[in-house]
Amino acid sequence: MRSADDHAARLLSLLRPPVPGIVPLREALGLVLAADVTAAGAIPPFDNSAMDGYAVRSADCVGASPDAPVTLAVVGESAAGHPFSGAVGPGTAVRIMTGAPLPAGADSVVAQEHVTRSGGDVVLAAAVRDGAHVRRAGEDARSGDVVVRAGVELRPRHLAAAASAGVARVEAWPAPRVAFLVTGDELVAPGDPLGPGQIHESNATTLAASLRALGAVLIDLGIAGDSADAVRRAVESAVAAGADLVVTTGGASVGDHDPVKEGLAGAGVEFLNVAMQPGKPQGLGVVGGVPVVSLPGNPVAVAVCVELFVGPAVRALRGVPEPAWEPLPAAVGWACPPGREQLMPVVIEDGALRPATSGGSGSHLVARLAVADGIARVPASTEAVAPGDTLAFRRFTA
């Protein structure tokens, strides 16, 4: 049997290397930056006022006090977007608003609540520090400075920094387009009544939500039923739609109705056992140039395979590094399947790991996934976990 790590590496090797594109800022949220964003100009672009008040020459105000106030003639106004075209000469001031350019000749701003107006004059009863309330050109960034580094996953604050740097478009890795298909005649949409032998479909919900959380663009191929033809047609439609990756669930093992295996085995997908529990029967290959990963139908297996295979593939396509697994002790002991790596949904309690399900890592115990914090990996060679054993743990990434 192939190890899970080997299987993951093979999937990564099948991905077509993504090509970065130029993206308008408003469409770049969540994408990973492929090239540094550099400031097209200084931020702020000019010296400007941090207060509503008066632009003055601090030298005019030396020694101003309540007993010896200084009176300056107000010679004009500078408002945001409407600079004063003249200069502040000795004995004068300019009315100024927050964000307005500091007029030539002035070096400081005094806030309006610290002065009194008297006709066309302004009266100061205190000295003004040279440079008071002035926001300097380039104090945030100078022209050419890197304001957002390549590799950053763009959040609103990064986009704000790029916009203020005068940058309208960024170079980013595109969001991968991932198609997903679930299979099985027994599946009924969540909320619909169940007939004999039917169950509520959950894998499409897992995949749609996981792919969205991972930053992919979704191509929903729906439910194929147990028809090999329908599976093949659905995958071909994903190829035609420009998918970067196709994920299927169910119908991948050795039963009499395994439509994914029947439909895709002759089309470029290899079906094999991976030494993991859950998630043993799997398919992996390329159809029409597009990598296809076929997961088993059991819902916990799908959630685990999202963490081990689908997540790493989407992250690789997006330019996102793979989060590390951390060593943590087991709080209790539990049994393990012989010869297969165990991927156990676990909760963290006081820094130690405890199975989220009381029935082991049964691949159908999907409801208990809701209480799990992440997955613990137990090596294939481990026969049973003992309390205190160190395991690799990672919180869910999707």
Ligand X SMILES: Nc1nc2c(c(=O)[nH]1)N[C@H]1C(S)=C(S)[C@@H](COP(=O)(O)OP(=O)(O)OC[C@H]3O[C@@H](n4cnc5c(N)ncnc54)[C@H](O)[C@@H]3O)O[C@H]1N2
CA dist list (Å): 219 to 197, 222, 238, 239, 397: 29, 9, 7, 10, 21
Task: Indicate whether 296 belongs to the interface with ligand X (CB under 6 A).
Answer: yes
Tell whether the torsion through CA atoms of 343, 344, 347 and 349 is positive or negative: negative
Strands (E), 195-340: 199-200, 217-223, 245-249, 269-273, 276-277, 281-287, 290-295, 326-329, 334-335
Minimal distance, residue 273 CB to ligand MOO, in Å: 9
CA-to-CA distance for 233 and 224, rounded, in angstroms?
A: 9
Nearer to ligand MOO, 174 or 283 (CB): 283
Whichever of 72 and 346 has its CB closer to ligand MOO, that residue is: 346
Say if CB 207 and CB 179 are below 8 A apart. Answer: no
| Residue 18 identity | P
Instruction: Name which position in 165, 224, 238, 301 contacts ligand X (CB under 6 A).
Output: 301
- Interface with ligand X in residues 334-353 (CB under 6 A): none
Q: How far is the CB of 216 from ligand X (least distance, A)?
A: 18
Site track 232-251 with ligand X (rule: CB under 6 A), x = hit: -----------------xxx
Report the residue number, 103 or 251, with the smaller CB distance to ligand X. 251
Tell me how many degrees the CA angle 335-340-341 measures, rounded to the nearest 5. Answer: 80
Please report how close the Cβ of residue 267 comes to ligand X at its closest, in angstroms: 17
Question: Which uninterrupted H or E stretch holds 173?
Answer: strand 169-173
Binding piece for ligand X, criterion CB under 6 A, among 99-107, 181-189, 338-346, 348-356? 181-189
Size of the site for ligand X (CB under 6 A): 26
C-beta closer to ligand X: residue 42 or 343: 343
From 37, 88, 179, 187, residue interacting with ligand X (rule: CB under 6 A): 187
**Nearest to ligand X of 51, 181 (CB atom):** 181
Q: Is 202 in the site for ligand X (CB under 6 A)?
A: yes
Residue of 308, 389, 292 lying closest to 2 (CA atoms): 308
| Binding positions for ligand X, rule: CB under 6 A | 182, 184, 186-187, 199, 201-204, 249-255, 258, 278, 280-281, 296-299, 301, 363
